[in-house]
Amino acid sequence: MAAAAARETATRYSELEEKHDAGVRHAARAAEDAAAAAAAAAARDTAGAAAAAEARDEAAAAQSRRDAEHAAECDTLHARHSALTTRADAAERLTEETKAAARVSLREVKEQLADAAAAAAAAAEERHAARAAADAAAGTDVIG
């Protein structure tokens, strides 16, 4: 129980850490976009076509980096999804196996109880018959 809670806490902490890291990356990308936009505006205003082309190239490079980061994040999330799906499937199989074992154990206990009850009833019947035979041999009347 405690181990499961610890795993859950660790998983939640990891998720929060990833969200934080994603926020930091997003802020850095936004700053990079703002810097690229500012550079592009300055280039258009002052340097002309060559500076604008350089700024466009820089913005395209920034977009390429963001695309690569996004692809890496997608790969990471896909891998986590696969791992969690595998763990969930294993847990479900274990649950079903445990249920099946419990059903078998319950059935065995019921069978043993039925056997014990039948044996006790037979023993009681034998004791009653033996007592009745002993009483009949002694000449006493037994009610019951």
Taking only the tens place, the pLDDT of each residue in 80-100 is 999 999 999 999 999 999 999
Provide the pLDDT for residue 143. 57
Average pLDDT in the chain: 85
Domain-located, residue 90: yes
Q: Which domain holds residue 55?
A: 2-110
pLDDT beyond 60 at 11: yes
Domain-located, residue 58: yes
pLDDT beyond 70 at 141: no
pTM of structure: 0.42
Domain-located, residue 45: yes
Residues 43, 52 contacting (CB under 8 angstroms) = yes
Domain count, the chain: 1
Domain-located, residue 71: yes
pLDDT beyond 80 at 47: no
Domain-located, residue 139: no
Calculate mean pLDDT across residues 37-50.
72
Domain-located, residue 122: no
Domain-located, residue 101: yes
Domain-located, residue 7: yes
Alpha carbon 123 to its chain's center:
53
